[in-house]
Homo-oligomer: A and B are copies of this chain.
Amino acid sequence: MNLLLLEPEEASGGEVVLHGARARHVREVLRLDVGDGLRVGVVDGPTGTAEVLQVGPDAVRLALRLGTARPPRPRVDLVLALPRPKVLKRLYAPLAALGVGRLHLTNAAKVERYYFDSHALAPAVIRERLLEGMAQARDPRLPKVEVHRSLRALVEDHLDPVYPEAKRLLADPVYARRASRAAAAVGPGRRVLLALGPEGGWTAFERDLFERHGFVGVGLGPRTLRSDTAAVALLAIVHEALEP
């Protein structure tokens, strides 16, 4: 944990009392004592520092010094064909750590219907895993997660009002254009909306749907990756290419 995350209601005063896992983390992993400092962030709020005021067996009391501005949302949003529940659970933290503004989990031809009934889509599970990645990467911005049962409705109706200006990239092994080249050509400050398919890729019908809605196809070269590896690789490559 590189950033101690606080809920907005905890951070409204100048002090906070931690219990449970976060108190144990400060005491036993960070091994902080009275007078020590640590980095803190408010979920979807500002970051700052805290000073340890008191360390007890059940609780840790901190004085907060928070900034006023909240950090910008990561520049990349992701449309991701819903992965297998076990894979999805493991992906939330790395995606949040790499940086994603919005995560649209969507149906696709090669997505199994039962994935939608999984525990991996329970809001508490999603939030816990995302917070883990945010704490790792020191980013207090909580990715917004949406679940879409119709890819067509997502692409035809939902995306345009939310992403009027983002550069739209569609990742699939059929495309020769490299993802890094396409992302490097995106102007400064412009957001990127990246769509990544299921195990086995998007179908021709799906690729056509995306292309008719402004998505430009990109690939990752000749090596076909498992969808979870591809998600991490692609997000890393696009962020790296967006850096000035």
**Interface-lining segment among A19-27, A53-61, A115-123, A230-238:** A230-238
Contact with B along A63-101 (1 / 0, CB 8 A): 000000000000000000000000000000110011100
* Complex alpha-carbon distance, A220 and B98, angstroms: 10
CB within 8 A of A224: which of B137, B225, B240? B137
Q: Within 8 Å CB of A229, what residues of B?
A: 94, 97-98, 232
> Is B243 a contact partner of A138 (Cβ separation < 8 A)?
no
Assembly CA distance A229 to B239 (angstroms)? 14
Contact A224 B138 (CB under 8 A): yes
Least CB distance, A141 to chain B, in whole angstroms: 11
Bound together, the chains give a CA A136 to CA B223 distance in angstroms of 8
Minimal Cβ-Cβ distance residue in B for A223: B137
How many Å lie between the Cα of A77 and that of B19 in the bound state? Answer: 45
Contact flag A241-B180 (CB < 8 Å), given A138-B224, A236-B220: yes
Q: In terms of DSSP, what is the predominant structure of the interface of chain A?
A: helix
**Count of identical protomers in the assembly:** 2
User: Is A225's CB under 8 angstroms from B178's CB?
Assistant: no
Q: Mark A146-184, 1 if CB is under 8 A from B, else 0.
A: 000000000000000000000000000000001110000
> In the docked arrangement, what's the CA distance between A197 and B240, Å?
19
CB distance from A128 to the nearest CB of B (A): 15
Residues of B within 8 A of A138 (CB): 222-224
Do A98 and B233 form a contact, CB below 8 Å, given A138-B224, A224-B136, A225-B137? yes
> 1/0 per position for A169-204, CB-CB distance to B under 8 A?
000000000111000000000000000000000000
Pairs of residues from A and B, 7 with the lowest C-beta to C-beta distance, nearest first = A233-B236, A137-B223, A94-B229, A232-B232, A180-B240, A237-B240, A2-B224
Which residues of A are interface residues toward B (Cβ below 8 A)? Answer: 2, 93-94, 97-99, 136-139, 178-180, 220-226, 229, 232-237, 239-241, 243
